[in-house]
Amino acid sequence: MIIQYKKKRGWLGTVFLVEILKGMGLTLRRMLSRSVTRQYPEERPEIRIGFRGQHALARDPVTGGSRCVACMRCAVVCPSRCIHIEYKKDEQTGVREVQSYAIEALRCIYCGYCEEVCPVNAVILTEVYEYAAYKRDAFYFDEEQLLKNWDRFIEESRYDPTKYVNPFWRPRGIDERTLAGPRRRSVPDDWKMENQWVGTGMTKSRKTGARCDVGGH
Amino acid sequence: MSRNEERIADVSGDALSEVFEVQMGPQHPATHGVLKLNLVLDGETVLSCKPDVGYLHRGIEKLSENLTYSQSMPLTDRLDYMSAIANNTGYCLAVETLLGIEAPLRAKYLRTMICEMSRIASHLLWIATHALDIGAMTVFLYAFRERELILEMFEELCGARLTPSYPRIGGVRQDVTREFMDRLEKFIAEFPSRLEEYETLIDTNRIWLKRTKGIGIIPAEQAIGLGLTGASLRGSGVDYDIRKHRPYDAYPYVDFEVPIGISGDVYDRYRCRMEEFRQSVRIIRQCMEQLPPGPIIADDAPDLVMELKPPRKVMAGSTGPSPLKTALIRLVEDRQAYMEGDVYVSTEVPKGELGFYFVSDGRGMPYRMHIRSPSYIHIGALGVICEGELVADIIANIGSLDVVLGECDR
């Protein structure tokens, strides 16, 4: 497709600055319409579920501590290698006990891999985005701080901690078989594969369950 | 003798002429990042222009040699940060080719849809800064208003605005929600009228025409010789678009046209990108209509935690590959789970052709990764284009080539 030029300006348009006046008219119209600027500290943006913000360890309502089992998957998958876990292994039972769990938030690139691979839904990137500090030490989150972050997140967001599910823990639309661990909690119905959004041209084939034919254009 | 050569001959024959050097950048706001240009000027005329890059080098290619394939994926967000999802998709396609897996149809459609959204987001930033550089500030404000809508949709989709890491090797991260699709539908219904607003402001504006018409002309042969791709090449009248000529993902199933320029000046490249906006809207609308049901990630897609040593079984996290794939993998199962050899896959990102070249020695990480980034090649062409033009035209040329330094220096 060859691009089209607009019609050349006539002498009338040249003398009366028609195209410039048109532009000014548009800006004038926009000036009088409602402003789209969000006045940030007073007016807060709506945070979508699944936002990747401050790190936290989910507090287990039963034990009061974290749910981490030191499987080391998050530490291994982290592209910037900012998760440090130390654990002790019980010789007889083989059960691992977390000694320390720390995240260096200044090295983190917020890719969300850690929460995605966690088999017990322990680590999470919360919806908290205001955590500036003056010292670098404030961004070295140890286990205690991470649990505090969780408390702050639950308090600010008013989620029910027993029912909260993060979409990264349990990706929307992903088959349950591909998920890592059995301890994943059940998800809202509209995250399930049966309820996925299907194109309007596809409604017929969806009902019959037949694989739609889209090739051959 | 071309106009530019005439101008150079003119000034060098002048007895009063005085040649001097100017270093433009790397902090100059109109260089779109940290680009430095070593200019030799005679008055206002540019005698030579040598780009100096590397101020934003982070060693992404080298870093990825020490990270697994899935770990390197978030790094590609940081290449061209205007359209991070397009980079992710190109990377994932390359790794999929290497591992011999294919994304499900629904994932392909989702990727195509999101890639076109990021094309709109990238082009919006281009029109904003390009117009701002030339002096039309209003377009800047209007374009950012629309870009914000797209970034908010990205946030709803995957939790991040600028660095989404949305595609995965063998599919995508998560499914779209109903709210997301409603918002997208509203956006593409409204967006064409917004495009007309930008065009009202600058398309026939005499100042804009003076600054862009006949400036930075690249003849078609020269554009091919310089290795330009994307809208910068198509502005010169060369019909080359990877989405059409080597279609990937869901591009073979959708109907769209490739806008082509006539004279190859700044104005034609501007018109090409403006038409691409409309084509992107068209592609998104078709993807929304055709979006099929089904899984969003392939059954034999590798787990995020990739093994470094060749694993004994097919791949970690797999849940029964398709019979054909099993046969394929069984052939190599005894030796390696990951393919050996090299692969080059290129995709059409908003800036041009982005290629990923992998050399694999059968481990879970590349032996060598090379990125063919369009911006690097476009900046290389900048010196040739700017020679003999005026200093102010350099700014128009940088804007019209649409370079981003994060991708150039990588």
> Is 60 exceeded by the pLDDT of residue B178?
yes
**Residue ranges making up the domain that contains A189:** 176-214
Which ipTM score applies to this complex?
0.81
> Hey, which residues does B371 pair with through a beta bridge?
B356
In this predicted model, which residue has the larger pLDDT, B86 or B298?
A: B86
> Is 80 exceeded by the pLDDT of residue A217?
no
Q: Which residue of B has its CA nearest to A20?
A: B205
Residues 128-167 of A with CB under 8 A from B: 167
Question: Residue B334 — very low, low, confident or very high, per pLDDT cuts 50/70/90?
Answer: very low
Question: Residue B15 — very low, low, confident or very high, per pLDDT cuts 50/70/90?
Answer: low
What is the average pLDDT across B14-26? 77
Taking each helix axis from N to C end, the angle separating B391-401 and B266-290, rounded to the nearest 10 degrees, works out to 20
Q: Which of A12-16, A146-150, A158-162 has the highest mean pLDDT?
A: A146-150
> Is 60 exceeded by the pLDDT of residue B173?
yes
Pairing of strands B36-42, B19-24: antiparallel
Instruction: Give the pLDDT confidence of B162-172 residue by residue, as tens digits.
Output: 888 889 888 88
Tell if the CB–CB gap between A50 and B268 is shorter than 8 Å: no
Number of domains into which chain A is organized: 2
Number of residues in chain A: 217
Tell if the CB–CB gap between A19 and B204 is shorter than 8 Å: yes
pLDDT number for residue B2: 62
Among partner residues B261, B268, B295, which is closest to A175 by beta-carbon distance? B295
- Considering the domain architecture, whether residues A78 and A137 belong to the same structural domain is answered as yes
pLDDT number for residue A134: 92
Q: Which residue of A has its CA nearest to B109?
A: A199
Take residue A210 and report the two structure tokens written for it.
């037949």
pLDDT number for residue A63: 83
pLDDT number for residue B11: 64
- Considering the domain architecture, whether residues A145 and A109 belong to the same structural domain is answered as yes
The answer to the question of residue A152 being in a domain is: yes
Instruction: Give the pLDDT confidence of B146-158 residue by residue, as tens digits.
Output: 898 999 899 888 8
- Which domain CATH number covers A70? 3.30.70.3270
pLDDT number for residue A89: 85
What is the average pLDDT across B111-130? 91
- Considering the domain architecture, whether residues A116 and A187 belong to the same structural domain is answered as no
The answer to the question of residue A144 being in a domain is: yes
Question: Residue B368 — very low, low, confident or very high, per pLDDT cuts 50/70/90?
Answer: confident
CA distances B35 to B24, B30, B227, B388, Å, are: 8, 9, 19, 20
Helices (H), B231-345: 231-234, 242-245, 266-290, 323-333
- Considering the domain architecture, whether residues A74 and A153 belong to the same structural domain is answered as yes
- Considering the domain architecture, whether residues A185 and A129 belong to the same structural domain is answered as no
Instruction: Give the pLDDT confidence of A80-127 residue by residue, as tens digits.
Output: 889 999 888 888 888 888 888 899 989 999 888 888 888 888 888 888
> Is 60 exceeded by the pLDDT of residue B106?
yes
The answer to the question of residue A6 being in a domain is: no
> Is 80 exceeded by the pLDDT of residue B323?
no
- Considering the domain architecture, whether residues A189 and A152 belong to the same structural domain is answered as no
Q: How many CB pairs under 8 A join A and B?
A: 167
Pairing of strands B167-168, B171-172: antiparallel
- Considering the domain architecture, whether residues A66 and A131 belong to the same structural domain is answered as yes
pLDDT number for residue B210: 85
CA distances A188 to A46, A122, A163, A168, A172, Å, are: 20, 19, 10, 13, 9
Among partner residues A51, A52, A199, which is closest to B290 by beta-carbon distance? A199
The answer to the question of residue A3 being in a domain is: no
> Is 60 exceeded by the pLDDT of residue B313?
no
The answer to the question of residue A73 being in a domain is: yes
Question: Residue B384 — very low, low, confident or very high, per pLDDT cuts 50/70/90?
Answer: confident
In this predicted model, which residue has the larger pLDDT, B308 or B238?
A: B238
The answer to the question of residue A80 being in a domain is: yes
pLDDT number for residue B336: 44
The answer to the question of residue A125 being in a domain is: yes
Instruction: Give the pLDDT confidence of B53-85 residue by residue, as tens digits.
Output: 888 888 888 888 888 888 888 988 888 888 889
- Considering the domain architecture, whether residues A134 and A194 belong to the same structural domain is answered as no
The answer to the question of residue A117 being in a domain is: yes
- How close, in Å, is residue A120 to chain B by CA atoms? 15
- Considering the domain architecture, whether residues A91 and A184 belong to the same structural domain is answered as no
pLDDT number for residue B330: 46
Tell if the CB–CB gap between A217 and B254 is shorter than 8 Å: yes
Chain B residues near residue A19 by CB distance under 8 angstroms: 204-206
pLDDT number for residue B89: 92
- Considering the domain architecture, whether residues A82 and A131 belong to the same structural domain is answered as yes
pLDDT number for residue A91: 84
> Is 50 exceeded by the pLDDT of residue A170?
yes
pLDDT number for residue A183: 53
| Residue B266 phi, psi dihedral angles, 5° rounding | -60, -40
> Is 50 exceeded by the pLDDT of residue B129?
yes
What is the average pLDDT across B379-383? 87
Rounded distance between C-alpha atoms, residue B70 and residue B316, angstroms: 13
- Considering the domain architecture, whether residues A63 and A133 belong to the same structural domain is answered as yes
CB atoms within 10 A of CB B71: 24
**Which of A157, A184, A199 is a domain's end point?**
A157
- Considering the domain architecture, whether residues A94 and A135 belong to the same structural domain is answered as yes
> Is 80 exceeded by the pLDDT of residue A6?
no
pLDDT number for residue B281: 92
pLDDT number for residue A213: 44
Number of residues in chain B: 410
Rounded distance between C-alpha atoms, residue B265 and residue A163, angstroms: 59
